[in-house]
């Protein structure tokens, strides 16, 4: 990712696995997580909050991946995998299939606090890792990785939509009690508030519709799909997802929001 001739570069671990960050980057983590935790009550789903409590993330420094691994392994058998800013789709699917969650070991600049297109360590650790302590979320990620490894390039386009509207930008609950579980939302204080503001369009989760809905990574989301609950991810993981992908490939796009096509 490049912005104003600046490229995000992942920090490298030493021979013990320890990653050293400068003081200013610890300060950025502190500012991000302090602001984000203030936005979570009444917005994040309970399963996320439970996982966040288990991780007990430090407020004054960027956590070491080994600290996260201890909790994930104990709860679901997952661990993190340090990666550079960009990895191939093949590598991404391979990691998930082996219960390893990729974590880019760099943190955003202050001017990117509200949104960063390339996921950083705050996005991955604070956004996704709390729910990786939950069996349904963990199982879905593993299943998704295994499917992605076998998928063609065209099939992966449809699988990417599924991941986007669930793991990254998914909601759960009823119209009167919607909550957030998507890490793309929960790592953005601005989108955490916006997502439940009533301003976006909320659609009941329908797998075929999700597979046929395009998305944009360069703007706040105009559409969210809403699952009944986190355990619905178990049902998705057990379904014949690739059969549905093939049907979606024949049907074409589904009712795209105008802002997604401009």
Which tens digit of pLDDT belongs to each residue from 157-172? 999 999 999 999 999 9
Residue 15 lies in a domain: no
Residue 13 lies in a domain: no
The tally of domains found in the chain comes to 1
Residue 150 lies in a domain: yes
Q: Which residues contact 210 (CB under 8 A, 6 or more apart)?
A: 161, 162, 165, 166, 225
| pTM of the model as a whole | 0.93
pLDDT tens readout for residues 117-126:
788 999 999 9
Q: pLDDT at residue 48 above 70?
A: yes
Residue 3 lies in a domain: no
pLDDT tens readout for residues 198-244:
999 999 999 999 999 999 888 889 999 999 999 999 999 999 999 99
Residue 6 lies in a domain: no
134 is in an annotated binding site: no
Residue 176: predicted pLDDT: 86
Residue 256: predicted pLDDT: 63
* Confidence band, pLDDT 50/70/90 cuts, at residue 115: confident
123 is in an annotated binding site: yes
Residue 175: predicted pLDDT: 85
Q: E-assigned strands of 144-254?
A: 171-172, 179-180, 201-204, 223-227
Q: Could you give the CA distance from residue 106 to residue 192 in angstroms, rounded to a whole number?
A: 22
* Residue 101 host element (H or E): strand 100-104
Residue 1 lies in a domain: no
Q: Could you give the CA distance from residue 106 to residue 113 in angstroms, rounded to a whole number?
A: 13
Looking at per-residue confidence, does 7 or 28 come out higher?
Answer: 28
**Host domain of residue 123:** 23-260
Nearest to residue 20, comparing CAs of 115, 106, 141?
A: 106
Residue 252: predicted pLDDT: 80
Q: What is the CATH number of the domain that holds 93?
A: 1.10.800.10
Q: Could you give the CA distance from residue 27 to residue 17 in angstroms, rounded to a whole number?
A: 22
Residue 259: predicted pLDDT: 65
pLDDT tens readout for residues 125-162:
999 999 999 999 999 999 999 999 999 999 999 999 99
Question: What's the rounded mean pLDDT across residues 168-188?
Answer: 95
168 is in an annotated binding site: yes
């Amino acid at each position: 990712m490049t912005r104003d001739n600046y490229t995000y570069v992942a920090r490298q671990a030493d021979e013990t696995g320890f990653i050293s960050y400068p003081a200013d980057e610890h300060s950025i983590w502190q500012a991000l997580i302090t602001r984000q935790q203030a936005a979570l009550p009444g917005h994040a789903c309970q399963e996320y909050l439970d996982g966040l409590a288990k991780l007990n993330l430090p407020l004054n420094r960027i956590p070491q991946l080994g600290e996260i691994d201890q909790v994930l392994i104990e709860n679901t058998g997952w661990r993190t995998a340090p990666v550079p800013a960009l990895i191939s789709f093949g590598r991404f699917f391979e990691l998930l299939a082996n219960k390893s969650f990729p974590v880019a070991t760099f943190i955003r600049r202050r001017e990117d606090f509200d949104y960063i297109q390339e996921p950083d360590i705050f996005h991955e650790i604070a956004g996704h890792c709390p729910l990786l302590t939950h069996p349904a979320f963990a199982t879905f990620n593993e299943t998704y990785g295994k499917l992605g490894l076998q998928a063609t390039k065209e099939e992966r386009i449809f699988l990417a939509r599924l991941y986007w509207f669930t793991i990254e930008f998914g909601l759960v609950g009823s119209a009167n009690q919607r909550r957030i579980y998507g890490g793309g939302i929960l790592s953005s204080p601005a989108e955490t508030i916006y997502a439940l503001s009533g301003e976006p369009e909320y659609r009941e989760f329908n797998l075929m519709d999700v597979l046929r809905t395009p998305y944009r990574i360069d703007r706040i989301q105009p559409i969210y799909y809403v699952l009944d609950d986190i355990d619905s991810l178990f049902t998705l993981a057990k379904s014949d997802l690739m059969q549905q992908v093939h049907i979606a490939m024949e049907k074409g796009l589904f009712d795209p929001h105008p802002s997604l096509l401009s």
